[in-house]
Chains A and B, each alone.
Chain A
Amino acid sequence: MPSAGFDQDSNEVTPVSIKILVAGGFGAGKTTMVSSVSEIRPLRTEEVLSEPSILVDDLDGIEQKSTTTVAMDFGRITVRDDLVVYLFGTPGQHRFWFMWDELALGALGAVVMADTRRLADSFPSVDYFERSGLPFIVAVNCFEGAKRFRPEAVRLALDLNPGVPVVLCDARQRTSCRDVLVTLVEYAIHLLSGADALSAP
């Protein structure tokens, strides 16, 4: 196995770190998901102030969440001593897009959280990951009181490519969120084996 990290610290193993993004519209359940499945850590970013004129979130149809912050959702899952999965919740609004390119670099993939009450809010995230070529799946957060949709209906509504997995989840449930992450990793493996097949002589 190739060594990673510092050469000078060859006797100390630097963990392999896997980065997964959790994207989606405001209030779609990103924060809930990250805190359900990982050890959350406070992480702030401040560059939001570069566009001070759009600090107000649109709260139509979302009664529970009254404020938005410049805090990022950041969580760590220590899978093993030498393997750590990092989750970064990326705000879906356009004013945070400066962060996306940097976060997407070297990421394993992304989970786009979708709220069926405001499905259009996940368009920008889906669009972004389609263009960047980063593997992504769509996790439909089954909010209480929201009408249930079949994954196929969501796929159609989001106009997703046929291969992109769509799963239903409950962002409050650790096991449900874990299954979402497993689906993403398996999808990444699937894409990788496809790429291998194509590049094979």
Chain B
Amino acid sequence: MSTVPDEWLDRDAGPVVRPYALTGGRTRPRGESFDLLAVVGAAIDVRSIDRMFLEPEHAQVLRLCRRPMPVADLASDLDLPLGVVRILLSDMRERGLITIGKPARTGLTDQRILKDVADALRRL
């Protein structure tokens, strides 16, 4: 394997590295880990807090999660890499700004739901 000592910091890496500034350089989320389809919901109304106490990204998450949505959708809407979003969310959970539920897994063991899925897909 050829050595590429500094190549990961070339211009291609720019947008990849910068988002970690949002996390204070941390690359690991705090607390209990959560699934990509775990549902994130705002625990407070973003309009009720003084913006001075919120990072812009936190405010954005709160706005997006007024209707609970899965982590993966949220990362897509925020246009931030998943790892960064995980850290943001774990921080926000720690501050009580959001709740992170478990993904709804009922479908996996319920034949009725699976048959529903198959039928619905067939109609697509």
Contacts and interface: CB of A to CB of B under 8 A. Distances in A.
Main secondary structure, interface of A, reads mixed
Interface size range on A against B: 35 or more
Contact of A41 (B13, B37, B73): B73
A93 to B, nearest CB: 14
Contact of B36 (A4, A79, A102, A186): A102
Contacts of A1: 106
Contacts of A181: 121
B75 interface: yes
Contact of A53 (B4, B82, B83, B84): B4
Main secondary structure, interface of B, reads helix
Nearest to A186: B118
B117 A14 contact: no
Nearest to A196: B111
A94 to B, nearest CB: 13
Contact of A49 (B8, B101, B114): B8
Contacts of B120: 79-80, 83
A189 B114 contact: yes
A46 B37 contact: no
Interface stretch (A16-24, A119-127, A140-148): A16-24
A158 interface: no
B26 interface: no
B109 interface: yes
B121 A49 contact: no
Contact of B81 (A46, A76, A77, A80): A46
B73 A16 contact: no
Contact of B113 (A16, A44, A70): A16
Contact of B7 (A17, A55, A72, A79): A55
A99 B117 CA distance: 26
Contacts of B67: 12
A70 B4 contact: no
A106 B103 contact: yes
A157 interface: no
Interface of A: 1-2, 4-6, 9, 12, 14-19, 37, 41-47, 49, 52-55, 70, 72, 74, 76-77, 79-80, 83, 85-86, 88, 102-103, 105-106, 108, 174, 178, 181-182, 185-186, 188-189, 192-193, 196
29 contacts: A2-B106, A6-B39, A6-B101, A9-B41, A15-B104, A17-B70, A37-B124, A42-B76, A42-B79, A43-B75, A43-B76, A44-B79, A44-B80, A45-B82, A46-B19, A49-B17, A53-B1, A55-B4, A77-B124, A79-B117, A79-B124, A83-B113, A85-B117, A86-B72, A103-B36, A106-B35, A181-B121, A186-B118, A189-B118
Given A16-B104, A43-B76, 19 more contacts: A4-B106, A14-B68, A44-B75, A44-B80, A44-B82, A45-B83, A46-B82, A46-B84, A49-B13, A53-B1, A53-B4, A55-B4, A76-B73, A86-B70, A86-B72, A106-B37, A174-B124, A182-B121, A193-B111
